[in-house]
Amino acid sequence: MRTKSPPHMQVVKRKSKQDQLIDFILKQLDLLDDRDQMNCSHELQLIALSSKSPVVSALMHVAQTRNLSKYSVRIIFASSVETNNVQFFKGLRQVSIHYAKNSRLLEAHEQLVISNATCWIGDCMRRDPGKCDSIECYAENCEETTSRAKTSFERFWLMSIPMIYADTNKCGELVSQTLITMPNCDRKTVIVSGTLH
């Protein structure tokens, strides 16, 4: 039976935020890999203010330094999406990015769901996560907190606009991507697919 540990909340200095997130993500992925003897696929869920948020940079660092070919990630950004940034997740199995058209998402908190019982919850997205200290919650072995985070993610996912979908092959090479321009843009929708070298 899984034990329930209370979420660990702390004030995190801006300069150490990314390093702490990297350590947390690596630790939790190691635990997942140790428990997974069947090499099953896993999905990560991320809500962030923008592609420049520390949590995105932390996940990007992890994706570049270890094999994440069995992991997919769904991301919701509250601000504009830089479509070329999908490249930094090319080691993942799949990447889907949505843009939150509803401004109410700014009242929500950044969050990263790693498993059914583990997640990280950051500060409100009205506070720039890259410019200020913040109160954060590191929830390990806490199904209740993680369940609430997953429910929030799915609700916002349905309310948001698809922006990017990327797929990789078994070697972790990006083989196709679909880019969709922002709504109300001057340009028409752009769809790009093919092998990237």
- Give the DSSP per-residue string, 122-144: EEETTS-TTTS-EEEEEESS-HH
Q: Convert the pLDDT of each residue in 52-80 to its tens digit.
A: 888 998 998 898 888 888 899 999 998 76
Q: Convert the pLDDT of each residue in 108-127 to its tens digit.
A: 889 999 999 999 998 877 77
What residue type is 136 in one-letter code?
E
pLDDT at 70: 86
Q: Convert the pLDDT of each residue in 75-101 to its tens digit.
A: 999 876 665 555 556 678 888 889 887
User: Which residues, 6+ apart, have CB-to-CB distance to 70 below 8 Å?
Assistant: 39, 40, 41, 42, 93
Helix spans in 36-135 (H): 54-65
Q: Is the pLDDT reported for residue 7 higher than 90?
A: no
- If 0-12 CB within 10 Å is exposed, 13-18 middle and 19+ buried, where does residue 108 land? buried
Stretch 166-183: mean pLDDT: 57
Q: Convert the pLDDT of each residue in 141-171 to its tens digit.
A: 999 999 999 999 999 999 898 888 877 655 5
Q: How confident is the model at residue 197 (pLDDT cuts 50, 70, 90)?
A: very low
- DSSP code of 108? S
Q: How confident is the model at residue 22 (pLDDT cuts 50, 70, 90)?
A: very high
Stretch 10-31: mean pLDDT: 82
Q: Give the pair of three-digit tokens for residue 108.
A: 């929500």
CA triplet 101, 44, 36: central angle to 5 degrees? 165
Spell out the domains of the chain, with CATH numbers in brackets. 8-33+40-179 (3.30.870.10)
| Rounded alpha-carbon distances, angstroms, from residue 38 to 1, 31, 42 | 20, 14, 12
- If 0-12 CB within 10 Å is exposed, 13-18 middle and 19+ buried, where does residue 181 land? middle
Average pLDDT value over all residues in the chain = 76
CB 129 within 8 A of CB 49: yes
Provide the percentage of residues in the chain whose pLDDT is more than 70.
66
pLDDT at 12: 55
Highest mean pLDDT among 131-140, 169-178, 182-191: 131-140
pLDDT at 133: 58
pLDDT at 186: 33
